[in-house]
Amino acid sequence: MNMTPHTSPIPHTSLLSRGMMAIMLAQFLSALADNALLFAAIALIKAGSAPAWQIPLLQEFFVIAYIILAPFAGPFADTLPKGRVMLIANSMKFLGAAAMIAGLNPLLAYGMVGLGAATYSPAKYGILSELVAVDKLVKANSLMEGSTIVAILLGAVLGGWLADFWLAGALYVIATAYLLAAAINLLIPRLPPSHVLADFSPLAMCRDFLQATRTLMRDRDARFSITGTSVFWGAGSTLRFLLVAWVPAALDIHDLSTPAGFSGAVAIGIALGAIAAARWVDLRTVNRALPAGILIGLAIMAFAYSDTIATAIAWLLLIGFLGGFYAVPLNALLQERGHESVGSGHAIAIQNLFENICMLLMMGFYILLSRQQLPVIPATVAIGGLVFLAIGGLAWSRIRPAR
């Protein structure tokens, strides 16, 4: 597939420009709704007396959209102004929330929201490398992550609380948040497309995606970033659903508000880690993030044996901090390498494919452990050990050539 790259210089836009503020506010509302909807969907499944293993299956329905749309989401984001792509994606998310209100099976409705999220992701991150200069890219990512993390915190807490006390109201609030996010997307500057596609046929787009994937995976930095973030987000997604089962088993608390609040603790930790990464790591010193990544798995294993709320929150804050310090520089590295080669939207779509395959595999592993009735504490230790080995192996492969 022929592509015409947009080669105009990247503007030295302020990190607090109107465009950046519009992106962060829209992302905040969209992420808040995403996280609130998860707990509303969990409540609907519980209300329907479905088997417990169907709860983590929600994530499988969500991420399958990322895998199916992987060849198309990146080119779509690079061919249109990314602010308009975000508008379309948030409208798709609204339709998924509306379908849940109308009574569609929560698994199918959550999968519809996944279609919007898969379209949204390459645009929301790809636009940063078009809006700010390379020397501001890690800081721009930190601002984006900070906005997202606050949204995750509030969305999880709000979703868990409303799901416990007023489920129908939760769904209406979530749908409204998606509509507001779509409206704010109209304030994002209409930037020129970064890579205009000459051929929109599905076969040609799949070929283009495969070529872009080969190009990125031949790049040592891009390969490192994609692999490293995939393991992290696979672990983070699994941990969120582990909390729903871990809280009643370890603390004898049976509401949704508590695991939602624990998810918020992880979000706060990620925000703090993102701030630290912006201060201490840049694209030239990205290897500084590796020790934090290795420690994530050990912290998950230690968290499994928490026996009080305070201890659990402390471990989850640490897990989040390590994750933020580790993942934010890797995201910035991929955006820079992608922008210089296949287009930032293509790069993020490829990253999404690998991340969501990892989520699918790790969630599948957890569902298998759950169906085999393995107690949740050993299951949590198993997930932590898997993360430790995966990121440890990645770190070794990264530093060995330098040595």
Average pLDDT over residues 28-42: 91
Average pLDDT over residues 27-37: 91
If phi over 0 gives left and psi between -120 and 50 gives alpha, with beta otherwise, what is residue 281? beta
Amino acid 330: pLDDT = 87
CA distances 77 to 11, 82, 143, 241, 355, Å, are 19, 6, 21, 30, 18
Could you tell me the pLDDT band of residue 200, with boundaries at 50, 70 and 90?
low
- Of the candidates 225, 185, 203, which has an alpha carbon nearest to the alpha carbon of residue 93? 185
Give the tokens for residue 382. Answer: 């198993």
pLDDT above 50 for 2: no
CA–CA gap between residue 321 and residue 314 (Å, rounded): 11
Q: Which residue has the higher pLDDT, 280 or 50?
A: 280
Amino acid 160: pLDDT = 85
pLDDT above 90 covers what percent of the chain? 27
pLDDT above 80 for 53: no
pLDDT above 80 for 102: yes
Amino acid 353: pLDDT = 85
- Of the candidates 67, 120, 70, which has an alpha carbon nearest to the alpha carbon of residue 234? 67
Could you tell me the pLDDT band of residue 10, with boundaries at 50, 70 and 90?
very low
Mean confidence (pLDDT) of the chain: 83
pLDDT above 70 covers what percent of the chain? 91
Could you tell me the pLDDT band of residue 221, with boundaries at 50, 70 and 90?
confident
Judge contact between 56 and 243, C-beta under 8 A. no
Which of 114-118, 210-214, 315-319 tops mean pLDDT?
Answer: 315-319
Amino acid 344: pLDDT = 65
Give the tokens for residue 203. Answer: 């076969």
Domains defined for the chain, CATH in brackets: 13-191+203-398 (1.20.1250.20)
Amino acid 81: pLDDT = 80
Which of 89-98, 195-204, 239-248 tops mean pLDDT?
Answer: 89-98
pLDDT digits (tens, 9 = 90+) for 323-349: 989 988 888 888 777 767 776 667 777
Written as one letter, the residue type at 271 is: A
Average pLDDT over residues 215-219: 86
pLDDT digits (tens, 9 = 90+) for 262-321: 988 888 898 889 889 888 887 788 888 999 999 999 999 999 999 999 999 999 999 999
pLDDT digits (tens, 9 = 90+) for 145-155: 777 777 877 88
pLDDT above 70 for 5: no
- Angle of helix 344-371 relative to helix 202-218, nearest 10 degrees, comes to 90
- Of the candidates 144, 200, 112, which has an alpha carbon nearest to the alpha carbon of residue 22? 144
Judge contact between 32 and 155, C-beta under 8 A. yes
Give the tokens for residue 312. Answer: 């659990």
Rg (the chain; Cα; Å): 20
Amino acid 294: pLDDT = 93
Could you tell me the pLDDT band of residue 1, with boundaries at 50, 70 and 90?
very low
